[in-house]
Amino acid sequence: MEEEFEFGFTEDPKFSVERYEEMIRNHDQYFFDAQAFENIIDYYIEKNDPAKALQVSEYARNQHPFAAVFLIKQAQLLVVTNRSVEAFDALDKAAMLEASDPDIYLIRGNLYESMERFDEALENYEKALSLAEETDEILLHIAYVHQNMGDYNTAIGFLKECLKQNMENQDALYELAFCYDVMDNQEESVQFYQQYIDNEPYSYAAWYNLGNAFTKLSLFEKAIDAYDYAILIKDSFASAYFNKGNALVNLEKYAEAIEVYRQTFEYEQPNADTYCAIGECYEKLEQMDDARAFYKKSVKMDPKLADAWFGIGVTLDFEERYFEALHFYKKALDLDIANADYWFAIADAEYKLKHLAESEQAYEKVVELNPLDVDAWLDYSSILYEQERLVDAIEVMSQAIKNNPEAAELYYRMVAYLFAKGDYNEALNHLELALTSDPEKHYILYDYLPQLQKNKVIVDIINRYTR
């Protein structure tokens, strides 16, 4: 007959675990009280060993068949191991033993939420809310469900309620920023975080989110101040340094930005994005060797970072090494085929290499992906004009104008092409449109066709608008 030992909660948790493991090794049967079993289960959960924790919960249930806590623990572990049917079953049994335990409804709510059965999830969270003493986490879950349902206003209400109950809830602070972002309501976001900081001035997360809201409003000076406070409170806050660096870039303070980006390396492993951002700053400072060195570090760390491959191309293009630049632009394009900027750079490099057909194809792609890019339309039509394909150039310009009816430079260019083709009446019509749109830009016409400065009709029309 097997010997039966009893171990109580007065024991050190580590001792309970050792005794349990000894019992398993010896194929024996020891008795543990409920608290000791809870300690053993928690030990394996912390060790990230859900299979062992589940095994302990089975032993615990056998020895304590009326303790709902072990059914609840089991349900949590079954959720983690994706066994939702068994998890629901364990929760139903737990509810029969102790219907007032809020964890039952919280876990059941999680299960329904993961299945996108949002009404049932909310029903269970509401029940948990009515039973629990500390409710900030439950309110956070209710907010998540409303976010998933696309109801961000309601989500914001629950997140604010959550923060009222626990000012320290970081997740709620970040989720609130996310909701305001989705709703594109940065002004209200700023207002909320400023009020929050009045009550909780040492919340680095609030200062950080305030900085992000200012950034989205393009108030970069204010954003930098907010990031500085976040860093002052938590000097190892790498994300705050990184975002401060981005704000400095927006203010074209590239040398300062490089220093700030480098500070992130003191608190976290260097990563490809930061190397790429530093590369971009050196590129803006026209220090191309340094820029290329950082872009190379970036792609070495993450070969899928298209912007870094593109950056290498830009540095080579700057040095008029167009053939080499093309190679890197195409590597970037392979990773992000619908990026209009990459196509534009390729079109430009092909043009400089006198590959007019390839350049033309690339420009066609640019304007297809981004029909609002006025410069691309102008460059595209130029290639056609240079080849004396006036009909094609005029067709491209009319497409450009259709997509950008406000862009005066397109009308002026159209006037030049129509004059070159000999369509004088049509040219004069477009000249009137151009001058109505922006009379100051009439010099574009002379840049393209200097001989028009001697054309009395043209000069008279322009004078009518510019005097």
Same domain for 404 and 418: yes
Say what percent of the chain tops pLDDT 90: 49
Same domain for 285 and 360: yes
Distance CA 412, CA 407 (A): 9
Q: Indicate the pTM of the whole model.
A: 0.74
The residue among 370, 388, 412 that closes a domain is 370
Mean pLDDT, residues 335-351 = 96
Domain of residue 273, CATH code: 1.25.40.10
Same domain for 389 and 431: yes
As a whole number, the mean pLDDT across the chain is 86
- In the numeric block, the tokens 């406070």 are attached to 229
Q: Write out pLDDT tens, residues 380-394.
A: 999 999 999 999 999
| In the predicted structure, residue 325 carries a pLDDT above the cut 80 | yes
Query: Which has the minimum average pLDDT: 45-54, 111-120, 197-206?
Result: 45-54
Q: Write out pLDDT tens, residues 402-456.
A: 999 999 999 999 999 998 899 989 988 898 888 888 888 888 888 888 888 888 8
Same domain for 320 and 400: no
Same domain for 274 and 320: yes
Distance CA 457, CA 190 (A): 56
Q: Is residue 430 part of a domain?
A: yes
Q: Angle between the 390-403 and 374-386 helix axes, to the nearest 10 degrees?
A: 170
- pLDDT-based confidence at residue 1 (cuts at 50, 70, 90): very low
| In the predicted structure, residue 24 carries a pLDDT above the cut 90 | no
Mean pLDDT, residues 136-157 = 88
The residue among 328, 354, 370 that closes a domain is 370
Same domain for 443 and 364: no
Same domain for 362 and 444: no
Same domain for 343 and 296: yes
> What pLDDT was estimated at residue 302?
96
> What pLDDT was estimated at residue 446?
85
Q: Looking at per-residue confidence, does 246 or 43 come out higher?
A: 246
Same domain for 364 and 377: no
Q: Is residue 414 part of a domain?
A: yes
The residue among 348, 370, 392 that closes a domain is 370
175 with 147: CB under 8 angstroms?
yes
Mean pLDDT, residues 291-319 = 97
Q: Looking at per-residue confidence, does 39 or 371 come out higher?
A: 371
Q: Is residue 306 part of a domain?
A: yes
The alpha-helical segments, DSSP class H, found in 47-185 are 50-63, 68-80, 84-97, 102-114, 118-131, 136-148, 152-165, 170-182
Q: Is residue 450 part of a domain?
A: yes
Question: Could you give the number of structural domains in the chain?
Answer: 2
Q: Is residue 63 part of a domain?
A: no
Q: Is residue 161 part of a domain?
A: no
| In the predicted structure, residue 134 carries a pLDDT above the cut 90 | no
Domain of residue 401 covers 373-467
